């Protein structure tokens, strides 16, 4: 099996086990020794490192070992003729390599690691007795060794390791590269972090690049005094912004399709093999397997059983959605309106600023409580795969944050029509929330890391019985182990920190779009923030957090639908703002200006839903390659089927002749 020059064997996964209190002479029964020997038999390259209080076992898999695992997993990979075929170790040259030259993507490699690590089972005729210090336990027949050790708290954690060479390269040309404001090495990000994170950064980069146009328009409106023409300029600005947002969402779909085609990701991908909800038994939420396997079940009863499962699942989702909506109306809405009213009646700007800071801190806490409740609710729902489950959670949690972020602004805009106060609120919300989010999302993980190091040092000093001397962490694996995981702030159930980053983008997009006519300069604030966001998000992934688990994906998921929803909301809210600018006396007379705004609203809504017909969601070359691949697959499968049929008939004729 040929090894590509770009494909070097590096340590990519690490296991953490506690240091043993006593040294065992009999290595055949010591569980950690058995684990290491089992890894070596599988084909792993193993390196053990002593840390301050724990021991670390780094694993590297040669290409041949990964290839055998991929073949056992029946992994499909893209071939040079454009078809996705089952991987075969002896036909490596037939498969397309990744953008970085490697045979397997990071997601595929980690899937192979997972299969190899958890695939070590007891194949003996009896249970094996294992020891860890003074404790003895049984490794039963057919059980996974690693899962047994995890249940005994011997294997503390398994996590991906950073590749120092590639990490430093990405730090230099991505996280710390301020010369190219919106450009990013997306192919390298995909090769290192996987598809889901790469798609997020591709979306963020394109969103920031496109944001420069409305930011320039907003600056012109702010700096140039139009006088009496301002009431004419604002509708033009609003129309430009809506058309910009519609075109952005449609052209992002085209770029998404092009990236997926370039990375050789299968379009028929239906689930995320790396995405797991902690503590959720997904099999219990699917259609029972016995319904399919039971051949004696009456067809009518089988149909009724499937319908019962389907409709009860839908009713549970409706019930949970109703719980979230009622919680927003009964609990969050009064709190939001009380804040908005206090802000309106308070005269001091200093007190208003302090009230906003306290409000943002308090509402973040209450909203996260509601989000955690949403996590518990979806555990009772029935979905086909974890991808749909994650989308459902996104919709529920975004509903909570939507109310938290916008209801106070709607109060000033719709009820009081106080545009001066509205601009103050928007400035404070944008500045405080953006700065607060950036500070918290970068400082809190570092504080957690520092606190964990302090706890380990304190524990080690107590074991030694002497507080003298400084305890150093010399192992890179130990330093990464002490770093926090890249997970969502509402709970580790998501195991995906992209939730917070996408939520921040969506809330920002809604804030600047829905009140664009009142505060055009908001786009300039957003553009500057997003330029910094690209670097801070890249820096925290490369330096602050553990290397994230790879997540397979073909889109940014439910977040694109949320952006589409916010565009529709923006058309309605901005038309309302323009109406109130024209109708300052509040007489609601249908004068030519007001009538034109109402007509403009309907035209923009039609454009929103009609533009998708004008601009296709995938480039022509992507569609042509997909159609070509499908035609080739049909042709090859047809020939194979004909050979199978003709071969079967010949065999049958030979049997008849012999008889």
Confidence label for 308 from pLDDT (cuts 50, 70 and 90)? low
Look over the chain and give the mean of its residue pLDDT values, rounded to a whole number: 77
- Give the pLDDT confidence score for residue 271 in this predicted structure: 41
The answer to whether the CB of 110 falls within 8 A of the CB of 59 is no
CA 299 to CA 302: how far, in whole Å?
Answer: 5
Q: Could you tell me which residue, 583 or 501, shows the higher pLDDT?
A: 501
- Give the pLDDT confidence score for residue 382 in this predicted structure: 63
Q: Could you tell me which residue, 160 or 379, shows the higher pLDDT?
A: 160
- DSSP class of residue 89 equals G
Sheet holding 157-160, edge to edge: 45-50, 54-60, 13-18, 157-160
Determine the 3-state secondary structure of 110 from DSSP. Answer: helix
Half-sphere exposure of 163 (CA within 13 A, CB side): 17
The token pair that represents 168 in the structure block: 């430093």
String of DSSP letters for 273-304: TT---TT--GGGGS--HHHHH-TTS-HHHHHH
Taking the CA atoms of the chain, what radius of gyration do you get in angstroms? 29
**Average confidence (pLDDT) over 92-107:** 86
pLDDT digits (tens, 9 = 90+) for 499-537: 888 988 998 999 899 888 888 888 998 999 999 899 999
- Give the pLDDT confidence score for residue 171 in this predicted structure: 92
The token pair that represents 436 in the structure block: 């607060």
Is pLDDT above 50 for 433? yes
CA 375 to CA 21: how far, in whole Å?
Answer: 40
The answer to whether the CB of 204 falls within 8 A of the CB of 181 is no
Question: Model-level pTM?
Answer: 0.82
Determine the 3-state secondary structure of 411 from DSSP. Answer: helix
CA 529 to CA 350: how far, in whole Å?
Answer: 24
Q: Could you tell me which residue, 314 or 265, shows the higher pLDDT?
A: 265
- Give the pLDDT confidence score for residue 609 in this predicted structure: 72
- Give the pLDDT confidence score for residue 292 in this predicted structure: 45
pLDDT digits (tens, 9 = 90+) for 448-463: 888 888 888 887 777 7
Which of 130-139, 169-178, 486-495, 599-608 is predicted most confidently? 169-178
- Give the pLDDT confidence score for residue 281 in this predicted structure: 37
C-alpha dihedral (352, 355, 361, 362), degrees to nearest 10: -140
- Give the pLDDT confidence score for residue 542 in this predicted structure: 93
pLDDT digits (tens, 9 = 90+) for 400-427: 778 777 777 777 666 666 677 777 777 7
CA 185 to CA 114: how far, in whole Å?
Answer: 28
Calculate what percentage of the chain has a pLDDT beyond 90: 20
pLDDT digits (tens, 9 = 90+) for 158-209: 999 999 999 999 999 998 888 888 889 999 999 999 999 999 999 999 999 9
């Amino acid at each position: 099996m040929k090894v590509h020059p770009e494909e070097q064997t590096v340590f990519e996964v690490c296991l953490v086990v506690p240091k043993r209190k006593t040294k065992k002479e009999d290595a055949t029964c010591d569980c950690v020794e058995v684990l290491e020997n089992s890894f070596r038999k599988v084909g792993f390259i193993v390196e053990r490192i002593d840390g301050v209080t724990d021991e670390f076992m780094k694993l590297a898999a040669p290409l041949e070992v990964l290839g055998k695992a991929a073949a056992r997993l029946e992994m499909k990979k893209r071939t040079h003729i454009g078809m996705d075929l089952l991987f075969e170790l002896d036909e490596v040259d037939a498969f397309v390599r990744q953008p970085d030259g490697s045979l397997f993507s990071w997601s595929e490699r980690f899937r192979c690691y997972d299969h190899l690590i958890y695939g070590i089972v007891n194949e003996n005729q009896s249970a094996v007795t294992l020891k860890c210090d003074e404790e003895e336990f049984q490794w039963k027949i057919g059980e996974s060794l690693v899962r047994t050790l995890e249940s005994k708290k011997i294997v503390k954690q398994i996590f991906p390791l950073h590749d120092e060479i590639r990490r430093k390269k990405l730090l230099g040309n991505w996280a710390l590269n301020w010369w190219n404001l919106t450009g990013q090495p997306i192919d390298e990000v995909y090769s290192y972090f996987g598809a889901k994170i790469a798609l997020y950064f591709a979306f963020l980069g394109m969103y920031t690049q496109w944001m420069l146009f409305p930011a320039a328009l907003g600056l012109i409106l702010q700096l140039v005094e139009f006088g009496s023409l301002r009431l004419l300029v604002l509708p033009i600005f609003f129309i430009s912004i809506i058309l910009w947002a519609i075109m952005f969402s449609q052209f992002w779909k085209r770029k998404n399709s092009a990236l997926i085609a370039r990375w050789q990701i299968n379009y028929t991908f239906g689930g995320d093999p790396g995405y797991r909800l902690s503590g959720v038994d997904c099999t219990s939420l699917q259609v029972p397997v016995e319904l399919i396997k039971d051949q004696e079940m009456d067809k009518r009863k089988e149909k009724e059983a499937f319908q019962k499962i389907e409709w009860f699942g839908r009713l549970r989702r409706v019930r949970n959605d109703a719980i979230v909506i009622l919680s927003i109306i009964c609990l969050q809405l009064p709190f939001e309106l009380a804040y908005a009213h206090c802000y309106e009646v308070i005269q001091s700007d200093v007190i208003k600023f302090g009230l906003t800071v306290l409000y943002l801190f308090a509402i973040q806490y209450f909203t996260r409580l509601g989000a955690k409740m949403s996590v518990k609710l979806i555990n009772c729902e029935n979905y086909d795969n974890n991808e749909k489950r994650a989308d459902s959670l996104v919709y529920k949690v975004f509903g909570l944050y939507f109310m938290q972020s916008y209801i106070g602004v709607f109060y000033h805009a719709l009820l009081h029509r106080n545009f001066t106060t509205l601009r103050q609120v928007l400035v404070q919300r944008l500045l405080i929330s953006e700065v607060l989010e950036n500070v918290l999302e970068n400082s809190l993980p570092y504080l957690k890391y520092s606190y964990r190091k302090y706890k380990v040092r304190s524990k080690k000093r107590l074991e030694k019985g002497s507080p003298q001397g400084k305890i150093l962490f010399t192992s890179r694996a130990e330093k990464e182990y002490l770093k926090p995981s890249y997970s969502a702030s509402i709970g580790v159930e998501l195991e995906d920190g992209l939730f917070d980053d996408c939520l921040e983008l969506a809330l920002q997009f809604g804030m600047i779009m829905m009140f664009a006519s009142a505060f055009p300069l908001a786009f300039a604030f957003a553009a500057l923030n997003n330029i910094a966001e690209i670097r801070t998000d890249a820096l925290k992934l490369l330096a602050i957090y553990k290397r994230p688990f790879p997540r397979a994906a073909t889109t940014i998921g439910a977040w694109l639908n949320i952006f589409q929803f916010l565009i529709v909301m923006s058309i309605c809210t901005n038309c309302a703002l323009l109406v109130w600018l024209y109708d300052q006396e509040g007489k609601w007379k249908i004068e030519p200006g007001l009538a034109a705004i109402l007509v403009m609203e309907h035209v923009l809504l039609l454009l929103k839903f009609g533009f998708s017909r004008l601009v296709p969601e995938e480039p022509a070359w992507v569609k042509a390659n997909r159609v070509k691949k499908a035609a080739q697959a049909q042709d090859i499968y047809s020939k194979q089927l004909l050979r199978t049929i003709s071969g079967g008939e010949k065999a049958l004729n030979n049997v008849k002749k012999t008889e």
